Amino acid sequence: MKCPKCGSTNVTVNVIQQTKLVDKHHGIIWWVCIGWYWIPIKWLFLTVPALIVKIFIPKRQKIKQKTKSVCICQNCGHNWRA
Ligand SMILES: [Zn+2]
């Protein structure tokens, strides 16, 4: 492994484990235009059946874990994805 910045071979490779949590946030405009009526509709048509399904069918959870390697140059401090 060679640093692309300074050419040093004094590079350490770190394996980072990532768990991705996708969190959606809506802006104020979304709430004014869509949110106030979409949420009850969504709740009624999606959440309620989903809850009923959840009661009868145990949910199988999927844990998505990503591992990525990050190389860090000990010479200049440059880091990049392997
Ligand atoms: Zn370097």
Please write the tens of the pLDDT for every residue from 18-43.
Answer: 776 666 677 888 778 877 888 788 88
pLDDT(69) > 80:
yes
Q: State the alpha helices, DSSP H only, in the chain.
A: 28-30, 36-42, 48-56
Sorted by sequence, the CB contacts under 8 Å of residue 66 that are 6+ apart come out as 17, 18, 19, 20
pLDDT(73) > 70:
yes
Q: Which residue has the higher pLDDT, 27 or 4?
A: 4
Token pair 């802006």 is found at 27
Q: What is the pLDDT of residue 6?
A: 96
Q: What is the pLDDT of residue 22?
A: 64
Task: Give 14 Cα–ligand 1 centroid separation in angstroms.
Answer: 15
What's the pLDDT band for 71 if we cut at 50, 70, 90? Answer: very high
Task: Give 3 Cα–ligand 1 centroid separation in angstroms.
Answer: 5
Task: Give 13 Cα–ligand 1 centroid separation in angstroms.
Answer: 13
- Eight-state DSSP code of residue 18: E
Task: Give 11 Cα–ligand 1 centroid separation in angstroms.
Answer: 8
Residues written for the chain: 82
Dihedral over alpha carbons 67, 70, 71, 72 (to 10 degrees): -140
Task: Give 70 Cα–ligand 1 centroid separation in angstroms.
Answer: 13
Structure tokens, 1 = 């492994």
Q: Write down the mean pLDDT value for the chain.
A: 83
